[in-house]
Amino acid sequence: VNTMDDTLGNDLQNILDTAVAEYELPAIQAAVIMDNNSRWTGISGTTNYSRKTPAPLNSIFRIASATKLYTAVLAMKLCESGLLDLEQTIDIWYPEIINSDAITVRMLLNHTSGLPDTFEKFSTLLISGLFANRIWKDEELIDRHNEMVYFEPGSEWKYSNANYILLGLIIEKISDLSLEQNFQQHIFEPLKLEETFYRPNENPTPFLLSGFDRSLMPFPNRHKPDQTSWSSLAVGSGAILASAMDMAIFMYALFNGDILEMHTVSQMM
């Protein structure tokens, strides 16, 4: 429910309407929470590029790499409980990964591990693109990251989805719970995020829009709601679905110390 001043709400809606055209998007959704707890959610655009069907306000989107912040929160929760140390090397869990005895949890979190990005491997992209309903197994994800590195661990920085794919798998090993169960137990349920889901699971919401990806493929690659290949490949690096307001609630809670202790949040920053 929008509780913000109508004038400001209209101004925000105009920004969204402009952005859809400027960035050639099918649709865009945004949410704002003010310090006085007044809230606004807006959406602009259509369900696809045909421009025929307006996107409903209650639409759910694949939030892609914004998932990484949620996964980082789970890792830091484990640190707070003493079950994980940022300086632990990942050979404890995955000795088959190249340089695993030198790559630390901290390096995974801050993208200094040197591991190659999962989505830069053409065969991986091809398989996921051709077989939309594929479910990637854990051992397959590991096999994709034990062949080479970009640099010696800790010596440089390079954004890599591999870091957060591995973090998700490590979180599962330590907690003895699935990544989805971890998200539910530590984030979704405590914050009452009723419009946040983890893929791949079976049809989590009828309000999920198709996504259109222009970065992995040279054309807008459509990610239909029932597609599982990309999400089961991305897991902890990019498999959450959410509304903009649920994301805003999560961010607001995180940076106000409602999920993690503030010194932990400072460590993340």
Helices (H), 111-217: 122-130, 138-143, 161-175, 179-183
Spatial separation of the C-alpha atoms in residues 235 and 214, rounded to whole Å: 20
For residue 133, what are the CA distances in angstroms to 111, 164, 224? 29, 22, 10
Cβ-proximal residues to 49 (8 Å cutoff; 6+ apart), any chain: 26, 212, 220
Q: Reply yes or no on whether 65 is catalytic.
A: yes
On whether the CB atoms of residues 181 and 88 are closer than 8 A, the answer is: no
Identified catalytic residue from 59, 65, 81, 229: 65
Q: Which amino acid, residue 159?
A: Y
For residue 174, what are the CA distances in angstroms to 91, 140, 261? 14, 20, 21
Spatial separation of the C-alpha atoms in residues 58 and 43, rounded to whole Å: 9
Which residues are marked as active site? Answer: 65
